[in-house]
Structure 1
Amino acid sequence: MKRILFFLVIMLFGLAACGQSDNKGSGDENSEPQPLEVDLQVPEHADSGEAVSMTAKVTQGGENVGDADEVEFEIWQEGAKDDSEMIEAEYQEDGVYGIEKKFDADGTFIVQSHVTARQMHIMPKKSIVIGDAKDEDAEEGHSHGDDETAGEDDSNHHHHDDLAVELHAPDSLTVHEESEVTVSINQEDEPLTGANVTLEIYHDPEEDPQWVNLTEGDNGMYAGKVTFAHSGEHDITIHVKKEELHTHEETTLGVEE
């Protein structure tokens, strides 16, 4: 009888250990960080002098994010990025952050939300036509995805001459295959740490860009994995943000079949 009880105790301990192991494995899977998603809502048209509501709904893994570190809306008239206005958004509910803005002049304006949350940074943007202005780019079939860089110099995006930003990628990139890319950032010949670094990747200006949030490593290195859905040339904008520092660097990558 004692032997039977002894073996039963051993079996119970074994089952408990297996259960803890299974739970641990499940927890590791769930600990994988989910990408940050921002649904930017901007009306296509409004009248000058009208109060326009604009919102950004922030989610991660399908869950609302109500604890974002910073949500701001940057607004500028097309072709005048150097005169952009930055407005801090207020949290409303269910992961939604919003502002109200009155436009005093007719024209096409670009609205870009800057969302920093959970060590990620994402910056989707849309356009709004005010008054009787015509959206000339839309009529010509161009996307506003390139408005940020069209007709502006580096100073419009707070470019820092003492900042060196360089993208490192494998010599050969193949479509549909995951590849790791890294960005090295140095300021005054010293590694820049604690920054939010994001890649904005365009293959076709008619399509929405692919956003990739990079993870900080050692010595000013930031890394992430990218899967390219198309072959050919891709335009890459590297966005770097840390406190008051907000700059970008542009480059290209070729992807093979």
Structure 2
Amino acid sequence: MKKLLILSFILLVSVIATACGTSSNEQETTQGSEGTEESSEEQAPEIPVVEVTFESDPLPVEEETTIQATVTQGGEPVEDAEYVDFEIWNKQDGKDNSTTVESEHVGDGVYEITHSFEKAGTYEMFAHTQVGDLHTMPKKTVQVGEKMFMEDEPSETSDDEQGHGDGKFMVHLKDKQDFKAEGSSDLVTHINKMEQPFKEAMVRYEIVSDQLDKHEYIDAEETNPGEYTATFTFPTTGSYTVKVHYEKPDEEIHGHQEIEVKVQ
């Protein structure tokens, strides 16, 4: 009888210990899973915020003036942006005649350039900003000199805002002046919608030129949020048109941007 009682007690202790171990493991697993989810959410970086400011309005003609971009992320100044480049063009002349100026970091998340405008008019600019894997390019308009009332201004919708669907799109082909013939070239385009990366889109490059027998099409891959990359070998030097097609059929978004490039 004693042996039977002892055996029963041992079995009971074993069952309780197993149950406790299982409960503890389940709790740890649950907590671990929750921790992973929280960690994943915490690791998602916020979109950088870029505020462009000018010394005056209107800006002077043929005088150096300072233009600043204050970059923050999560409310904190960004001191290590990969770059902040200002792409500037006269609205009448068109974006094909733009000038890009690299900024200098002066502290507290402020990046600045000095620039002299050769003539009066309405100017537009992108503040191309790269922070980690995230790219944003807010667009600003500024008056230089006195506005001429007879000035023939283009439509408010520029080439960079082509496309169907809600909101404005900005399309920027990176380093468009650095393509070389007979070598593999990276086509890197940033697409923003309402100054936010246009993510998870279908993007395709169409290459058109007299140097080609036919139009070439290359599917792009999203390498960073809103950044789409593909490679192409330009056969000869000359002028090419790169058409960036972007779409989200489920949202009825279809658009394209044509960009002229010079291949050396």
| Shorter-chain TM band | 0.5 to 0.7
CA offset digits 1:187-234 (Å, max 9, x no partner): 68584768889xxxxxxxxxxxxxx82566x99999886997xx9xx8
Match for 2:137 among 100, 123, 126? Answer: 123
Task: Tell me the CA shift for residue 59 of structure 1.
Answer: 3.8
1:102 aligns with 2:122: no
Identity level (%)? 23
- TM-score, normalization by structure 2: 0.52
Gaps of 5+ in 1: 150-156, 166-178, 198-211, 247-257
2:167 paired residue number: none
SS at match of 1:18: helix
CA distance in 2, matches of 1:126, 1:46: 13
1:154 paired residue number: none
Give the counterpart letter for 2:119 in structure 1.
A
CA distance in 1, matches of 2:249, 2:73: 19
Match for 1:84 among 76, 90, 98? Answer: 98
1:58 aligns with 2:58: no
Task: Tell me the CA shift for residue 87 of structure 1.
Answer: 1.0
1:255 paired residue number: none
Contact kept in structure 1, 2:222 and 2:228, CA below 8 Å = no
1:38 aligns with 2:40: no
Query: How many aligned positions are there?
Result: 202
Aligned positions of 1:1-257 closer than 5 A = 3=13, 11-32=23-44, 34-42=46-54, 43-80=56-93, 81-134=95-148, 143=156, 146=158, 181-185=201-205, 189=216, 191=218, 213-214=226-227, 236-238=255-257
Task: Tell me the CA shift for residue 75 of structure 1.
Answer: 1.9
Gaps of 5+ in 2: 1-8, 162-175, 188-198, 233-243
**Aligned alpha-carbon RMSD (Å):** 5.1
CA offset digits 1:96-138 (Å, max 9, x no partner): 322122334333222222223333433322222222233767x
Over 3 Å counting, the alpha-carbon distance change for 1:57 and 1:196 in structure 2 is: farther
Over 3 Å counting, the alpha-carbon distance change for 1:44 and 1:180 in structure 2 is: same
CA distance in 2, matches of 1:135, 1:128: 16
Over 3 Å counting, the alpha-carbon distance change for 1:122 and 1:31 in structure 2 is: same
Task: Tell me the CA shift for residue 27 of structure 1.
Answer: 1.8
Q: Which runs of 4+ in 1 moved over 6 A?
A: 4-7, 192-197, 218-228
CA distance in 2, matches of 1:71, 1:194: 24
SS at match of 1:44: coil
CA distance in 1, matches of 2:159, 2:39: 43
Over 3 Å counting, the alpha-carbon distance change for 1:95 and 1:107 in structure 2 is: same
